[in-house]
Structure 1
């Protein structure tokens, strides 16, 4: 089963009330409207895209060690994914799909890294729960996401829905704000040039990780 099939099944189960917290019709409508408004804003079109130069960053891994883009691309391309948080089941499926293809990515010389605004403790939980063998870097305030053009602030009615589900972003992220990155996936070459970019303001839509393999094979040649 490809990743999007799993995401579609998850969404069907959620909307059918087969999750512990059953959403009301009004909550589903609020979530759908917020996604449509983010799409209509056109922000995704202004995020960094193929051919752009990635901004350098230095973020801490779950153990508190600093990680720099400069070092990540020193020996090969970087597969970089922006991740909403441990509380997001769609993101967790996405991370699991990336872990499944990680050996193939590494065989092609690539490093795999995720970035999330969540705290290091929550990144460690993400790694444990999803059995990940790649790091999730903490991006306080989603500042690196902003440099990539991905950061957005949640509208007030959506914040109330998230609170009712227990998705208290200030608690998960350790910052007193309600901001997230749009889910995104990049391949960044050793020269910092973005060779692949996929940004989707609809968090329930993600590209299959198999799309990365032809890009990395081309870079290897």
Structure 2
């Protein structure tokens, strides 16, 4: 089953109010409204795209060790996944799919890292729960996400809903700003050029991991 098929199946159960979620129609409609407004805003069209230059960054891994994009790119191309956090089931399914694809990435000389605004403790939890062997880097305040054009401010009505659902993002992220990154996937070549970019303001839609393989193969051929 493809990643998107798994996401669609989960979404269907969630919107049907099946246990353990049992969400009301008003909750679903509020989430759909926020997604529709983010799409209509055109925010995704302003994010970095293929052929753009990727901003350099240094972020801490869950153990507090700094990880620099330049050091990763010195070894080979880099796959980046920006995701919302351990509280997001769609994000967790995506991380699991990326873990399954990791051997293919590594065969092509690529590194894989995920970037999230969540705290290190929540990144460690995510790694445990999803059985990941790649790092999750903490992007405090979504600053790196902003450099890629991915950060957005949640509308007040969605913040109110999250509070009602006990989804306390300031606690998850150690940041009171109530911002999130649009889910995004990038392949960055060793010269810092973005070779592949997929940004979707609809968090229920994610590209397949194998969609990145052509860009990674091109990068490997260029090095060879």
TM normalised by structure 1 equals 0.98
Structure 1 residue 19, shift from structure 2 partner: 3.8
> 1: distance between equivalents of 2:138 and 2:97?
20
What's the counterpart of residue 142 of structure 2? 142
Q: Does 2:118 correspond to 1:118?
A: yes
How many positions carry a matched residue from both structures? 221
What's the counterpart of residue 127 of structure 2? 127
What's the counterpart of residue 96 of structure 1? 96
- Structure 1 window deviating more from structure 2 (162-171 vs 86-95): it is 162-171
Indicate conservation of the 8 Å contact 1:153/1:179, yes or no.
yes
Indicate conservation of the 8 Å contact 1:21/1:165, yes or no.
no
SS in 1 for 2:186: strand
Q: Which runs of 5+ in 2 are unaligned?
A: none
Structure 1 residue 187, shift from structure 2 partner: 0.2
Per-residue displacement from partner, 1:57-82 (whole Å, max 9, x unpaired)?
A: 11000000001111110010000000
Structure 1 residue 164, shift from structure 2 partner: 2.3
SS in 2 for 1:67: strand
RMSD between aligned residues:
0.8
What's the counterpart of residue 214 of structure 2? 214
Q: Does 2:30 correspond to 1:30?
A: yes
Q: Which runs of 5+ in 1 are unaligned?
A: none
SS in 2 for 1:132: coil
> 1: distance between equivalents of 2:215 and 2:144?
24
> 2: distance between equivalents of 1:168 and 1:19?
21
What's the counterpart of residue 70 of structure 2? 70
Structure 1 residue 182, shift from structure 2 partner: 0.0
TM normalised by structure 2 equals 0.97
> 2: distance between equivalents of 1:74 and 1:18?
47
> 2: distance between equivalents of 1:155 and 1:205?
20
